[in-house]
Amino acid sequence: MREIADAKDLLDWYDRHARVLPWRVSPQDRARGVRPDPYRVWLSEIMLQQTTVAAVKSYYESFTSRWTTVSDLAAARDEDVMAAWAGLGYYARARNLLKCARAVASEHGGQFPADHAALLGLPGIGPYTAAAVAAIAFDLPETVVDGNVERVMARVHNDDTPLPRAKPVFTDYARALTPRDRPGDYAQAVMDLGATICTPRKPACGLCPWRKGCAAWLAGTAAELPKKAPKQRKPTRLGIAYLVRRVDGAWLLERRPDSGLLGGMLGWPGSDWSESPAEAPPIRAEWKALNGEARHTFTHFHLRLTVKTALVPMERQPQRGAFVAAEDFDPGALPTVMRKAFDLAQGK
């Protein structure tokens, strides 16, 4: 009786089916000695946290063409990086991206450390990303455990222990399968398997290189795994956004505090977001409430944003925020919820 799954079978599959991704060195090139750029591996891994490949691609291209090395990025202005990240979400990633780049530049001579523990000590790098960079960039035998790997392990072992409680056990399963040979390709192979074959719904078991050794395939339970703890339902909150235009075309914007929701991002001044938000106009003006509302769903609540607009004279001073000249204003620098409010005001 063979082991339940075997790294070799997966690597053979990966050699034939590896996805082509902008940040990836193909297994063929890797075999010829091509090494991935640790900066690009790290950048892609941060962007891919809880984010789809499709959403990441254009951001990855723009970051790597604008900031070629980690030292370039370390020298960037905070506001430029936050603006470039706008729309990708989880903005703490962008703040930590800069902190990490600056730590690598100042404490590691501009080179990412080829060491799991040292990587783990850097801002924004947790257990998954430390293992991913160590394995993919440096071909060290570290075990990556992301959502894909959890799903694959739950199925291979037909383990119905609910997540997140099952995480330590699934990690043990994954570690036991990690090979000493080609750990970087293997890490990418398991995640590719989870992303393309061993998918959450309708897994393509007929195409799976691990089918023969998969306990869930044998039991017919693959599609029901992994089990997960029930989610809490999202409450709905209300809010008011104030879109102020000065007669010269300038917009009144406000930089949000570094911590908390949309931390460090540019946005419209507004009320609190709650069951009954209090009016909080940022400037004395005659307000016009727009018809409709900007709707947006965050991780843990739904938001219905009322948008109020006003036109103010040159000399009027705001109590909050600062005017940004029309030619300096880029709606693309706003987080999506703020851009939705802008679109509503533009009649889009």
- For strands 294-297 and 251-255, give the pairing: unpaired
Instruction: Map residues 143-182 to x or -, x wherever contact with DNA holds by CB under 7 A.
Output: ---xxx--x-------------------------------
Exactly one of 182, 211, 246, 296 binds DNA (CB under 7 A); which one? Answer: 296
User: Does the footprint of DNA cover residue 263 (CB under 7 A)?
Assistant: yes
Provide, rounded to whole angstroms, the least separation between the CB of residue 270 and DNA: 14
User: Does the footprint of DNA cover residue 135 (CB under 7 A)?
Assistant: no
- The Cα 225–Cα 212 span in angstroms is 17
Provide, rounded to whole angstroms, the least separation between the CB of residue 280 and DNA: 18
**Residue of 3, 45, 224, 286 marked catalytic:** 45
User: Does the footprint of DNA cover residue 292 (CB under 7 A)?
Assistant: no
344's CB contacts (< 8 A; 6+ apart) are: 290, 292, 293, 294, 307
Cα three-residue angle 74-78-81, rounded to 5 degrees: 80
Provide, rounded to whole angstroms, the least separation between the CB of residue 343 and DNA: 11
- The SS3 assignment for 317 reads coil
Helices (H), 20-166: 27-31, 38-48, 53-66, 70-74, 78-85, 92-107, 116-120, 127-138, 147-156
- The Cα 189–Cα 17 span in angstroms is 9
Provide, rounded to whole angstroms, the least separation between the CB of residue 191 and DNA: 5
- For strands 294-297 and 302-312, give the pairing: antiparallel
Query: In the range 21-40, which residues lie near DNA by CB under 7 A?
Result: 21, 24
Residue span binding DNA (CB under 7 A) among the ranges 101-109, 204-212, 230-238, 276-284? 230-238
- C-alpha 51, offset from chain centre: 4
Exactly one of 108, 297, 319, 325 binds DNA (CB under 7 A); which one? Answer: 297
Provide, rounded to whole angstroms, the least separation between the CB of residue 94 and DNA: 8
User: Does the footprint of DNA cover residue 128 (CB under 7 A)?
Assistant: yes
Could you confirm whether 327 is annotated as catalytic?
Answer: no
* Lookup result for tokens 């029901």: 224
- DSSP assignment letter at 265: -
Q: Please report, as ranges, the residues that interact with DNA according to CB under 7 A.
A: 19, 21, 24, 44-45, 48-55, 86-92, 96, 123-130, 132, 146-148, 151, 188, 191-192, 194-195, 200-201, 228, 230-234, 260-263, 295-300, 335-337
